[in-house]
Amino acid sequence: MTLLDQHSVHGAPALPADAIPALLAQVPGWQPVDGVIAREFTFRDYRETIAFVNAVAWLAEGENHHPDLTVAYRRCTVACTTHSAGGALSLNDFICAAKIDALYAQRAGA
C-alpha cells in the first residue's frame, strides 16, 4: 500500500529512526530536520500560492493532521511534524507529505 492510499490516524506514534530513510525515499524533495520534514513549493504568482495553501488546509482538515505553512509571494514552505508524538515524525507526516506532493503535481497548468 502506498502512502497515498493511507490516512492519518489519531495519536500515531513516533517512528523508529531506522524506518525514516525508506519513507523519505517516497517523498523526494522533503528534507528532514529535527523531527520535521519540510519542502518548499514554488508558484507562478500569489494567487496560485494561495490556492495551494487553501488546498493544503482542506487536505489537513480531512486528514486531521495539520502542517505548518510559511507563505510568501510565490513560495510556500510546508513543515510536517506530529504534536501528539512529542514533535517527532510519525507515519502521518509522510502520508500528508505524499498527498501534498500530489496536490502540487495536480495544480492547474502544472
10 touching ligand H2B, by CB under 6 A? yes
Selected binder of ligand H2B within 66, 69, 77, 107 (CB under 6 A) = 66
Is 34 a residue that touches ligand H2B (CB under 6 A)? no
Pick between residue 30 and residue 43 the one whose CB is nearest to ligand H2B. 30
Buried b (16+ CB within 10 A) or exposed e, 30-68: beeeebbbbbebebeeeebbeebeeebeebbeebebbbe
**Site residues (vs ligand H2B, CB under 6 A):** 10, 64-66, 81-84
